[in-house]
Amino acid sequence: MNETAPRVAVVVFPGSNDDRDAALALERLGAEPVLHWHAEPELPDVGAVLLPGGFSYGDYLRAGAIARFSPAMRAVADFAADGGFVLGICNGFQVLCEAGLLPGVLRPNESLSFVCEDVSVRVERTDVPFLAGCEPGQRLTIPVKHGEGCYFADNELLEQLETRGQIVLRYDGMNPNGSIDDIAGVVNADRNVMGLMPHPEHAVDPLLGSSDGALILQALVERARERLFAAA
Partner 1 sequence: MKATVLVRPKPGILDPQGKAVEDSLRHLGFKVDEARVGRLLDLEVETNDPDQARAEVERMCAELLANPLIESYEIELSEKA
Which residues belong to the active site? Answer: 90, 199, 201
CB of 97 to partner 1, least distance (A): 9
Alpha-carbon distance of 151 to 118, in angstroms, equals 18
Length of the chain (residues)? 232
Nearer CB in complex with partner 1: 112/230: 112
Q: Which of 16, 56, 91, 109 binds partner 1 (CB under 8 A)?
A: 109
Residues 29-58 that bind partner 1 (CB under 8 A): none
Q: Which of 25, 65, 123, 183 binds partner 1 (CB under 8 A)?
A: 65
By CB under 8 A, the count of residues binding partner 1 is: 19
CB of 62 to partner 1, least distance (A): 6
DSSP percent split of the chain into helix, strand, coil, nearest 5: 30, 25, 40
Q: At what angle do helices 213-229 and 19-28 cross, to 10 degrees?
A: 70
Nearer CB in complex with partner 1: 28/62: 62
- Residues 177/109, Cβ–Cβ less than 8 Å: yes
Nearer CB in complex with partner 1: 33/103: 103
- Residues 29/217, Cβ–Cβ less than 8 Å: yes
First to last CA, the chain: 13
Residues 134-193 that bind partner 1 (CB under 8 A): 152-154, 157, 178
CB of 154 to partner 1, least distance (A): 7
Nearer CB in complex with partner 1: 60/229: 60
- Residues 33/42, Cβ–Cβ less than 8 Å: no
- Residues 213/199, Cβ–Cβ less than 8 Å: yes
Rule CB under 8 A: say whether 112 interacts with partner 1. Answer: yes
CB of 34 to partner 1, least distance (A): 29
Q: Which of 8, 22, 86, 105 binds partner 1 (CB under 8 A)?
A: 105
Rule CB under 8 A: say whether 59 interacts with partner 1. Answer: no
Nearer CB in complex with partner 1: 135/154: 154
Alpha-carbon distance of 221 to 46, in angstroms, equals 11
User: Exposure string (b/e) for 106-145, b if CB count within 10 Å is 16 or more?
Assistant: bbbbeeeeebeebbbbbbbbbebbbbebbeeebebbbbbb
Rule CB under 8 A: say whether 110 interacts with partner 1. Answer: yes
CB of 172 to partner 1, least distance (A): 22
Alpha-carbon distance of 79 to 58, in angstroms, equals 26
**What residues make contact with partner 1 under the rule CB under 8 A?**
61-62, 65-66, 69, 98, 104-105, 107-112, 152-154, 157, 178
